Amino acid sequence: MPIDEKIQLAHELFAKWGFSLRQDPRIGSLVVKLRQKIAASQKAMFDVGVAAVCRTCEEEEGGSCCGKGIEDKYNPTLLLMNLLLEQPLPAKRHTENSCYFLGEQGCSLAARHVICVNYLCGRIQHTIPLRDIIDLQTTNGEELDAVFILHEAIKKFIGS
């Protein structure tokens, strides 16, 4: 399914289920927990310098690992999670040869696919000290656990 159709479906799911999902105590607490884990991961990426390495690669060297086609990994439920996190989905691709979700300030999503959270290129692996990478991946693992748990809870709630 093309990404624009997945985004449309996520909006339809949100229109139908968003209020009920937000009112459900379990889903609501999982959204709060995920928001906290995402914030911790983002802070860790900035603190250890990963965000700076990625920005340099994208802005000064003409590309990044966020290439066109990465968006194909996303499903409507993961996109719905972004809407539950009050993160709008882009209406169009910002840069032709980049991921649909890569905007001027980096990824436009809050809840991201495992490959987007977990991937560390060779430059990062050689630039960032190993101890910092281990700490970052531990923090990112907690985010991914929270993404998975919420994703599965939403699927069960809406019966898909």
> Cα–Cα distance between 140 and 90 in angstroms, integer?
24
- Structurally, how many domains does the chain consist of? 1
CB 108 within 8 A of CB 102: yes
48-75 confidence digits (pLDDT tens)? 988 888 877 767 766 668 888 999 999 9
pTM for this entry: 0.91
Number of neighbouring beta carbons within 10 Å of residue 24: 16
91-133 confidence digits (pLDDT tens)? 998 888 889 998 887 889 999 999 999 988 888 888 999 999 9
- Domain containing 84: what range? 3-158
- Torsions phi, psi for 138 (to 5 deg): -65, -45
Higher pLDDT, 94 or 25: 25
